[in-house]
Amino acid sequence: MSDEFEVEFIEREERSARFVVRGLTPAIANGIRRAMITDVPTLSIDTVRFVENSSVMFDEMIGLRLGLVPLTTPLDDFEVGDDVTLALDVEGPATAYSGDIETSDELVQPADENIPIIELKEGQRLEFEADAVLETGKSHAKHQGGVAVGYRHLQKVEVVGDAGEFDEEEPNILRGVVETEEGELVATDEFGNDLTNRYPGKEVEVTDVPGAFVFHVETDGSFTADELLLRAIDSIDARAAELEDAVAV
């Protein structure tokens, strides 16, 4: 991909990030979004072998819940199609949580330990073995590590004058991130998403900044938001190179 793209982070945490990318077309922005959703593989429970299930839930219902438990996914150590064996054995009265799942590989763990699987009453037991498989979101939504990935145009706010003395000030709602006249990036929740709070008594003009997009990314804990973005860009690079080679033949 082009080296002319500029990236600036507004928020940057382990599982979430908000950042501005300049120098994109809408098609490339959407390509990055789609790559983060469908191209970056995650480990997810795919096959479950029940040893005992005397709970009130059918095997299939528990299997569905298990498939939605996010697992840490060290992508440098696995290839698509690789699997890891997991196991659980809990007897009631107790609630079986994701943290009760044991794994054959220390690098692969439930991303959150407090996800409830099933509440077991006295005398009930849940025991199983399972295989977690590394696949992409193209094969199934449970392999989508980017649980909330979106973007919008960056908008610039300019003061064009004073509001009329007798004008009734109505809310001017914007959401996301705006760029001020001074070039500062400001999250709109800092002023309650209402421009009249930031520019009281002023008339403002809002325009889209050409080629600039604000991305908001959240992961399920399979990996960090940084890794999700970088892996998605690598995927686009690889597909672009493949297309270039095909056209050159």
In this prediction, residue 19 carries a pLDDT of: 94
In whole angstroms, give the CA distance from residue 84 to residue 28. Answer: 35
> pTM to 2 decimals?
0.84
Write phi, then psi, for 181 (nearest 5 degrees).
-60, -30
In this prediction, residue 60 carries a pLDDT of: 95
Per-residue pLDDT of the chain (249 residues; tens, 9 = 90+): 445 788 999 999 999 999 999 999 999 999 999 999 999 999 999 999 999 999 999 999 999 999 999 999 999 999 999 999 999 999 999 999 999 999 999 999 999 999 999 999 999 999 999 999 999 999 999 999 998 999 999 999 999 888 766 566 778 888 889 999 998 999 898 999 888 888 888 888 999 999 999 999 999 999 999 999 999 999 988 887 877 778 876
- In the chain, which ranges are E strands? 6-12, 16-22, 42-53, 83-91, 94-97, 102-103, 116-120, 125-135, 146-162, 177-179, 185-187, 202-219
**Structural domains of the chain in order of their starting residue, each with its CATH number:** 6-39+146-234 (3.30.1360.10), 43-136 (2.170.120.12)
In this prediction, residue 164 carries a pLDDT of: 66
In this prediction, residue 167 carries a pLDDT of: 62
In whole angstroms, give the CA distance from residue 32 to residue 34. Answer: 5
In this prediction, residue 166 carries a pLDDT of: 57
The DSSP 8-state label assigned to residue 8 in this structure reads E
In whole angstroms, give the CA distance from residue 245 to residue 247. Answer: 6
Q: What is the DSSP string of 132-180?
A: EEEE-TTT-GGG--EEEEEEEEEEEEEEEEEPPTTPPP---B--SEEE-
Tokens of 82: 């690789």
Cα within 13 Å of Cα(190), Cβ side: 11
In this prediction, residue 249 carries a pLDDT of: 65
In whole angstroms, give the CA distance from residue 110 to residue 50. Answer: 19
In whole angstroms, give the CA distance from residue 156 to residue 161. Answer: 16
Instruction: Kindly tell me the sign of the dihedral angle through the C-alpha atoms of 156, 157, 161, 167.
Output: positive
